[in-house]
Every structure is written in C-alpha cells, then in structure tokens.
Amino acid sequence: MPQIIRDPSFDSTLDLLREGYPFLYSRSQRFDSDIFQIRLMGMKAICLHGAEAAELFYDPKKFIRTGAIPRRVQTTLMGLHAIQTRDNGEHRCRKEMFMSLMTPGSRHRLMGLLAEQWEAYSRKWEHQDRVVLFEEAQEILTRAACAWANVPLQEEEVSLRARQFGKMIDGFGGVGLRHGRSKLARINNERWMRGIIRDIRSGKLPVQEGTAAHTVAWHREPDGKLFDVQMAAIELINAIRPIVAIATYITFAALALHEFPPYRQQLRNPHEDYAELFVQEVRRYFPFTPFVGAIVREDFTWHGFEFPKGTMVLLDVYGTDRDERQWEDPEVFWPERFRHWNENPYNFIPQGGGEYLTGHRCAGEWITIEAMKQAVGFLNDGITYDVPPQDLNYDLARMPTLPRSGFVMTNVRRTGKSAPAIMPTAVMNAKASGGCPFHHG
C-alpha cells in the first residue's frame, strides 16, 4: 500500500501564513503529487489537489464538515454552527432554504436593485475627485442585498453596515487586530439581525413572503422547530454577507479591464455573451478562496492511500484552478478558454466545487456571475474614468487579498448607458440546471 508523501516540516502553520494562497499548490508541484500530508497547528492534515481529488473531496459519503471549519473562521466569516458546518439532513434542509432564494425571479429582482444603485452612485461619482471602487461597490452591494432580503437599512447606517460586512469577510484569514475587528463586526451585525428577526416574528416588521428575511425567520429545522433567534440571525447574515463579498470580484474585474484593455472591445460584441467568458476567467485567474476543509467520515482508501476516520483533509482551491492538466497556460488571463469548458463541477472551483442540490457547492454562485457581468458591463460602457498612478498589486500571502489601492478612479463620467437589470436567459437557465463569493456550502 503506497504511503502519502509527508512534508518534512515539523509544522507548516507559519509557512501557510507566510505563503498564503500558493501554499498547497506549491507543495503539490514540489512533491509532484495530488496528495500529501502536512501538520497545521500540530494536527495532521491530508492535502488534495486537482479535479479528481476534488470529486473525492465532495463525496458526502466520505467526508463531513462538522468540526472542519476553525472556530476563528466561524466567529468572523460565517457564524457559529452555520450551514457551512452542517451535514446530512440538517445540511440538506438548510441548503433547500437557501436554494429557494435563487429562483430566476428572485435573482432578476436583485439585479434590478443593483442596477439602480450603480446608476445612483455613478451620479455621485461625477462630483468626486477620487473614487475607491472597492469601498463604493461594498456600499452598492449592501444596499441592494438588504433591499432584496427585505431587511430594513436606514440611510445613516449604510456605510457602517457595509464596513462591518467587509470586516467580517476580510478577517477570516487574519490574525491579531485584523481578526479582532472582524469578530467585533460580526458581534455587532448579529445583534442588529437578532432585532430584525424578533421584529418579524412579533409582527412589528412585516416582510414579503419568499424574501430572505421571511424565509429565514420562519424556517424550520428537520425536527420541525424554528431556528432560535441567534441561528436565524446568523443565516440571514449568510444570505446578505456573500453578496457584499462580490465587491472583491468586481474590483478584480476592474483590474482585468485595466490590465487587459483589448477585451473591452470584445465585451461590446452584440453577437456574443463575451461577459460570461470574461467573468469566469476573472474568477479563475484572481485569488479568492485558498482552500476548503472537511473531516473523514469513516476509514476508506483512495488509489491505495489510507484516509483514517476523523482526519482533517484540505482541498487546494487556488491550485486546482491553475492545474495545467485542465487549463492551458494557467497563469495567462485568457477568457476564451471558457468557450470550450466542459462545465465540470470539479475542475473549476473558485468558490468550492461539487453539485448544488446534493453537495456543498455555493448556492449563490449564479448571483455572483450575474452581478459581476452587470458590473463589468457598467464599468465598460456605463461610465468613463481615468485610472491614476496607484498600487494595484495584490499580496498572495494575504487571505483574502485585494489590489492594495482598492482600485482608484478619477474623472468619472456617465455615458448614458444603464447597467443591465436583466441578465441573458442563457446564463440564468443554464446555471440553474447545473452549474459561488459566498460559499453558503
């Protein structure tokens, strides 16, 4: 029976913090293996890389998520005991709840709300000397997401909530002060959302049936009981927070438009939905999710390698999206590669892989793609702007990462072309049948 290659380091925790996104990918290349073993925080972990390994990783008969997500990530990014940490019937029940929010009509409504915000903010930008796209996109997405979810948001609290959602997202890979700020932001947002849930259940706050606020507030677990108020607050945040996280992808999309200007004209081709290819390549090329974890459910072997029950397993997301066996010239930004992509749910996993309905693939991936296409269309045709000298580098050792400047624009002017509110039916229907900044899980 073959032995799993072991990283010679006694513990790789500091190496992970120093290297960031490429940590697992570089070792897979160094060992020339899709499977190897490391120690993190003193605990043994089996690491997997590539499409075949991803297919194994997302087999719910072999892995569970309970216990796989560190508490420090739960107390910042997703909340304690949220859907991403659940398994079996409890996970299926919550996944169905989130999937019910992803109907074409619901997504269409969100796109309309976003279109209104892009228009409103662009009018404001014309009177500003300097616009930081990342910060503005967070506010745009926060406004639209709360309106879509039927969560009331007062004008004077927009900036606060956008910053708090942003800190929750930014802190999952941080330490020290950055982690502390993220944890505090979650505490404040959970307090706010608990009040919303109480008001809905008491009848003080009427909300529309089918919206996220109504659906989560009245959701029942497999035992027939309503969520407790805290759990409902966490999952309602998990319907909104991932939409705000799209600001990172939008900022990277703006960077791609700036660094690869020939694609601007191709995006204007009326005979092809080139935006679909473009945003998929943004999601593949730029770093978002570094890796995901699970726990071995029961002892099993794979290609002769032993996976003992209870072992931590990490899947290399960043490296799998750069696997030369699947992607020609992976370090080249080339949207055309997606003309011939086979829509394999395991070889392209920027926000996790697997199937939507039966597995842990992100329920909000469709929204991510549609919101990105809308933003790219608006940045390419809805406004003109200058990109002044600034630091557009992003640090792969920082998780999550972003262009350091946040992408600054000056001399913003509207062209009169609106952000599209309705996405092409090919996208909405094709994605609905099979194929997420969210990682609802």
Q: Between these two residues, 353 and 59, which has the higher pLDDT value?
A: 59
Residue 82 banded pLDDT, cuts 50, 70, 90: confident
* Nearest C-alpha neighbor of 337 from the set 347, 346, 328: 328
Section 168-188 average pLDDT: 88
Give the C-alpha distances (Å, rounded to integers) separating 247 from 212, 253, 311. Answer: 20, 10, 35
Give the C-alpha distances (Å, rounded to integers) separating 272 from 160, 265, 279, 316. Answer: 40, 12, 14, 33
25-36 tens-digit pLDDT? 999 999 999 999
**Model pLDDT, residue 154:** 95
Q: Which two tokens stand for residue 266?
A: 């191709």
Mean pLDDT of the chain: 90
The residue assigned the tokens 């994605």 is 431
Q: Which domains does the chain have, with CATH numbers?
A: 5-433 (1.10.630.10)
Checking 175-179 for CB contacts under 8 A at 24+ apart, the result is 175/17, 179/72, 179/76
- State yes or no: pLDDT of 440 exceeds 70: no
- State yes or no: pLDDT of 156 exceeds 90: yes
- State yes or no: pLDDT of 240 exceeds 50: yes
Section 63-69 average pLDDT: 83
**Model pLDDT, residue 79:** 79
**Model pLDDT, residue 356:** 53
288-323 tens-digit pLDDT? 999 999 999 999 999 999 999 999 999 999 999 999
* Nearest C-alpha neighbor of 144 from the set 112, 171, 179: 112
Q: How far apart are CA 50 and CA 32, in angstroms?
A: 12
Residue 236 banded pLDDT, cuts 50, 70, 90: very high
- State yes or no: pLDDT of 409 exceeds 50: yes
**Model pLDDT, residue 72:** 74
Section 173-188 average pLDDT: 88
- State yes or no: pLDDT of 425 exceeds 70: no
pLDDT more than 70, % of the chain: 92
- State yes or no: pLDDT of 220 exceeds 90: yes
Section 175-181 average pLDDT: 87
**Model pLDDT, residue 434:** 29
**Model pLDDT, residue 422:** 53
Q: Which of 41-55, 71-85, 227-241 has the lowest mean pLDDT?
A: 71-85
113-146 tens-digit pLDDT? 999 999 999 999 999 999 999 999 999 999 999 9
Q: Which residues pair with 170 in a beta bridge?
A: none
Q: Which residues pair with 100 in a beta bridge?
A: none
**Model pLDDT, residue 362:** 65
316-373 tens-digit pLDDT? 999 999 999 999 999 999 999 999 999 999 999 998 887 655 445 666 788 999 999 9
255-282 tens-digit pLDDT? 999 999 999 999 999 888 999 999 999 9
Q: 402 — phi, psi (to 5°)?
A: -165, 150
Section 420-428 average pLDDT: 50
* Nearest C-alpha neighbor of 34 from the set 289, 227, 320, 259: 320
Section 58-64 average pLDDT: 93
**Model pLDDT, residue 355:** 66
- Hey, which of 3-7, 64-68, 80-84 has the most confident mean pLDDT? 3-7
What predicted TM-score, i.e. pTM, was given to this entire model?
0.92
